[in-house]
Structure 1
Amino acid sequence: MQEPVERTSAACPALFIAAPASGQGKTTLTAALARLLRNRGKVVRVFKTGPDYLDPQILAQASGRPVDQLDLWMAGETYCRQRFFEAACEADLILVEGAMGLFDGEPSSADLAALFGLPLVIVMDVKGMAQTAAALVAGLAGFRDDILIAGLIANACASQRHRELIESALPAEIPLLAAVARDGALTLPERHLGLVQADEIRAELELRFEAGARALDAEGLAEALLQLPPVTFEAPRQAAEPPMPSLQGRVIGVARDAAFSFIYQANLDLLERMGATLRFFSPLADRHLPPCDALWLPGGYPELHAAQLAANASMRDELRRFFAADKPILAECGGLLYCLESLTDIDGETHTLLGLLPGHGAMRGRRGCQGMQTAELPEGPVRGHAHHRSVAEGTPAPIAFCRRQRHPAPGEAIYRQRGLTASYLHLFFPDNPDALARLLMASGQPASALETHSLTPEESQG
């Protein structure tokens, strides 16, 4: 019997949906397009550029498929190449939603599109402009010679005449693929850190997806995209890799509900590949922790649910006992806030929380902190992303500071109390599986037994 030949490449039509800036309607139109093609029985795999948590939730519901985050700095080229290859093996079309403006960030959306040869469609809110929209698209197309802009989607177009003015001014090689009218029924709801979580408004989202799909269907966009020439995605070259660290037999409790939902699917997949059993629980609704060896308290919106978290005395008591037993706990951003003594929510009300870590959390309006950073953990460096509009005050001296991607100033503080490791940084586990295995007690050694010392900001920058 002949051995099956392992595939080394796969081809599939693909499109990168970008914009000149944030707030142009990329997610709304990417979701609408995914739903339109799904309604036609097509398999659509959608990816989101950057470390975003909320857009992938929306896009996963629209497409009916998991949505991975792709970032060349945080996840690396090999990881991105593997995700694209796997998607191309099953999809009729691949969509990638960009982040911010096309050339913003290092690496940018343009960098990702250029590396994998993905044609770009520009989504632009054309309110208040006509021919100028064409000039902006032409400028984007000419800014770099390693990208291909395949067309424009004019969002918030006022009329047929508005459409004609834009279309007539576009360069011949950049067609107007669609003009979408201003329609509040299509717009996705937002709050202080971005879009509202999909699980909170699933029924409302369905209405918006279908309305968007109808609008794009009327423009004939599905037919145009399915006729795109395929992009060939190569499988990553298999290099000799160290053996995957083991979490075999370890049970990891993962907080997951409306207050704690900023979870990379890639993190869950990695823990399971290392042999861990995942047990999900809700600090909002459950009275008891599941039996587990370690806990992960991810980020989310504890500030919106602080009263309910404070009222769940049974869960708070069990988490305190878990902490007192020196078992490992990883707390990220919202999880960090939950571990503090108290949290002042967005309405100015203060609520008593776990008290595993001295200090008090409070929201601080529209000002926030964000950016790519590396957590300099005793177990090893792990890349990740910070994005928050709260502050933690009265905390103990950190054991280290995160290292910013491109700035010399110290990043987020990293705290350790007994088995608790807490920081504002959201970690991308696949960046350093060995460090995560050590952190979650793969060897059975308590995290508190690891040799650590408090680092100054200067030491942490190394």
Structure 2
Amino acid sequence: MTTTPIRGEAHAALITAPGSGQGKSMVTAALARLHRNAGRRVRVFKHGPDYLDPMVQEVASGAPVYQLHPWMTGTAECRWRLAEAAREADLILVEGSMGLFDGDPSSADLAILAGLPALPVIDAWGMAQTFGAVAQGLANFHPRLAIHEVIANRVGSPGHGRLLADSMPEGLALLGAIPRSDAMAIPDRHLGLVQANELEGLDAQLDAAAEVLAEAGLDRLPARVELETEAPEPPPRLLEGRRIAVARDAAFAFIYRANLDLLEAMGAELAFFSPLEDAGLPVCDALWLPGGYPELHAARIAANAPMHAAIRVHHEAGKPILAECGGLMVCMERLVDEHGAEHAPFGLLPGTARMTGKLSALGLQSLDTALGELRGHTYHHSQLETARVPVVRARRLAGSAAEAIYREGSLTASYFHGYFPSAPALTAAIFTGSGLDAALCNSSGD
């Protein structure tokens, strides 16, 4: 089969930092809004597994945000999504994760793979000439990574900004010095940023942040980059005629756009519903309970008796259910929130999901089966107490202990978040039930 080449050219940069907490998320969002307000077409991507930052970036840019990660999404998909965006966008921004060289693959690895220049955001609070040394260290650490400019964040005064600019070594320039401003601050909670739809006045704040950047001289476009690759082959229509109910509201919102795209590309019809608001399920053949913040809404979930009954009827009928992380938590008999209050959610699995008040698991993981290797990650602040024995465990690439995969009748439940496009056949089996138990029993994990 011949493939179709995709070529595009756009101004592009990877927005990164020396480490977490430097302000790159809000700088990326403010840059996206600044150029969008100037009439430019802007696309933003996010390096690595992250659900919350993309929500803000979608509001800022007005366009869908997809994840890029050479291991989780694959190098071919990284190139394809960027080249496809370059055909229509004037500006492409990729928000990095953690520090520039942190992780394997790191944000730097993605920039090198795609041929994007990196634009570090460095928190200048409490720093003077050392700022230049930090910038030089980032620029010289990898010979194949292009860094020509940096951004100073949280600058105390115009004089402070001039001091930072004067500290730049030869070959590096200060693109702009962002002053301390309430417009550049965004609240977070235990899993990351507060969800965009919970932030009152977010649009107005993004406009204000864009003005802060414009006044700091950050309205100049980065270099143009040529991006070229081949279009991927369409996935097999393994879900033709299937209707999948997808929970999506304030409690269940951790959903990769690419996962929804794949389900539809394989022929599924998606029906969204709210376990918080609705009294029942849409007519469906399968059910997906994704991750999110069910612990913040546990009382409302527990009080929605009609929804409990509808989900139990679905389960007793042998219809497939996928419960990921937060979805797993509400499938337990008990959910204990961060205040120690006990709630009774859907009760499909014996045991308790208990908030711990600290990070319990973090890292990239995968599930390797005869139907493909489903790649993804784990990240949660709760622990499971159950006598149920998992059918298999995911394989740990880095970070925490490998997550258990539970099967209870037609229910597949785990803390593991899967990236569906990495294993279309296995994803189809999860939502049809066909061949799933055999695939899981013969899978390899830790």
TM class, shorter-length: over 0.9
Task: String of CA shifts for 1:22-60, please: whole Å, max 9, x gaps.
Answer: 000001110001001111111000001001000000000
* Separation in 2, partners of 1:72, 1:174: 28
CA separation of 1:451/1:29 partners in 2, compared to 1, >3 Å: closer, same or farther?
closer
Matches within 5 A, 1:229-378: 229-236=223-230, 244-376=236-368
The correspondence of residues 403-418 of structure 1 with structure 2, limited to 5 A, is 403-406=395-398, 410-418=401-409
1:440 counterpart letter in structure 2: F
1:245 CA displacement: 4.2
Q: Give 1:453 shift.
A: 4.7
Q: Does the 8 Å CA contact 1:46/1:63 hold for their aligned counterparts? A: yes
Structure 2 SS opposite 1:280: strand
Partner Cα distance (1:410, 1:207) in 2 = 42
Query: 2:6 touches 2:84 (CA, 8 Å); kept in 1?
Result: no
CA distance in 1, matches of 2:384, 2:135: 43
Q: 1:38-437 residue pairs with structure 2 within 5 A?
A: 38-201=36-199, 203-222=200-219, 224-225=220-221, 228-236=222-230, 244-376=236-368, 379-406=371-398, 410-437=401-428
Aligned pair in 2 of structure 1 residues 255, 110: CA closer, same or farther (>3 Å)?
same
Question: What TM-score do the two structures reach when normalised by structure 1?
Answer: 0.92
AA of the residue aligned to 2:422: D
Q: Deviations over 1:413-454 (max 9, x none)?
A: 00001000000011000000011111111xx74856x57659
Percent identity reads 51
Q: Name whichever of 397-406 and 241-250 sits farther off.
A: 241-250
CA distance in 2, matches of 1:35, 1:422: 38
CA offset at residue 161 of structure 1? 1.5
SS of equivalent to 2:230: coil
160-169 vs 101-110, greater mean Cα deviation: 160-169
Counterpart contact for 1:357–1:395, Cα < 8 Å: no
> Cα distance 1:311–1:454, how it changes in 2: closer, same or farther (>3 A)?
farther
Are the structure 2 counterparts of residues 346 and 378 from structure 1 closer, same or farther at C-alpha, using a change threshold of 3 Å? farther
Amino acid at match of 1:167: A
Q: CA contact under 8 A between 1:245 and 1:433: conserved in structure 2? A: no
User: Does the CA-based 8 Å contact 1:376-1:401 persist in structure 2?
Assistant: no
Unaligned runs of 5+ residues in structure 2 are: none
CA–CA distance in structure 1, aligned partners of residues 212 and 445 of structure 2: 52
Q: Any conservation in 1 of the 2:392–2:440 contact (CA below 8 Å)?
A: no
User: Residues of 2 paired with 1:246 and 1:237: CA distance?
Assistant: 20
Query: For residues 139 and 240 of structure 2, what CA distance do their matches in structure 1 show?
Result: 50
The answer to whether the Cα contact below 8 Å between 2:122 and 2:150 also exists between their aligned partners in 1 is: yes
Task: Quickly say closer, same or farther: Cα 1:140–1:447, change in 2 above 3 A.
Answer: closer
TM superposition shift of 1:243? 5.8
Instruction: Note the residue ranges of structure 1 that are not aligned, 5 or more in a row.
Output: none
Structure 1 residue 410, shift from structure 2 partner: 5.0
Taking a change above 3 Å as real, the CA distance of residues 107 and 454 of structure 1, as seen in their structure-2 partners, is: closer
Task: Say what the alpha-carbon RMSD is for the aligned residues.
Answer: 1.9
Q: Deviations for 1:245-274, whole angstroms, at most 9, x for unmatched residues?
A: 421100000000000000000000000000
> How many residues are aligned here?
444
Q: Are the equivalent residues in 2 in contact too, given 1:245–1:434 (CA < 8 A)?
A: no
Shift of 1:406: 4.3
Q: Aligned-pair distance for 1:204?
A: 2.4
Q: 2:351 touches 2:385 (CA, 8 Å); kept in 1?
A: yes
Q: What is the rounded CA distance, in whole Å, between the counterparts of 1:267 and 1:452 in structure 2?
A: 20
Distance of aligned partners of 1:35 and 1:148 in 2 relative to their CA distance in 1, 3 Å threshold: same
Question: Cα distance 1:243–1:267, how it changes in 2: closer, same or farther (>3 A)?
Answer: closer
* TM-score computed with the length of structure 2 as normaliser: 0.96
Please list the CA deviations of residues 45-94 of structure 1 after superposition, one character each: whole Å capped at 9, or x if unmatched. 00010010000000000000001010110000111111001100000010
